[in-house]
Amino acid sequence: MRAGLRGLGLKPGEFWDLTPAELALMLGIDFGAAAMTRARLGDLMARFPDGAAAGGAGDPRAGPKPARMNQQDRRQADGG
């Protein structure tokens, strides 16, 4: 309230009519998500690796893997 009334010079009614997002914007507070950089992606990949422990091969939640098609199967699927 102090930031809105004293810092921004808002009247009480103006302050109470603001949403938290509007007040944060007026105060210059940025709550947006950080950009996905190569370093951030690397951190996430290290924290949540693919594999048996993370829904990969061997994880019963992973479900069946799609069958690989050989050249003959592809020709038949393409109608040739």
Q: For residues 25 and 18, is the Cβ–Cβ distance under 8 A?
A: no
Which is higher by pLDDT, 13 or 59? 13
Mean pLDDT of 41-52: 87
Mean pLDDT of 41-70: 70
- Both tokens assigned to 19: 């949403």
pLDDT for 12: 95
Q: Where are the beta strands (DSSP E) in 1-80?
A: none
pLDDT for 33: 73
pLDDT for 32: 73
Mean pLDDT of 52-66: 55
How many residues are given for the chain?
Answer: 80
pLDDT for 42: 92
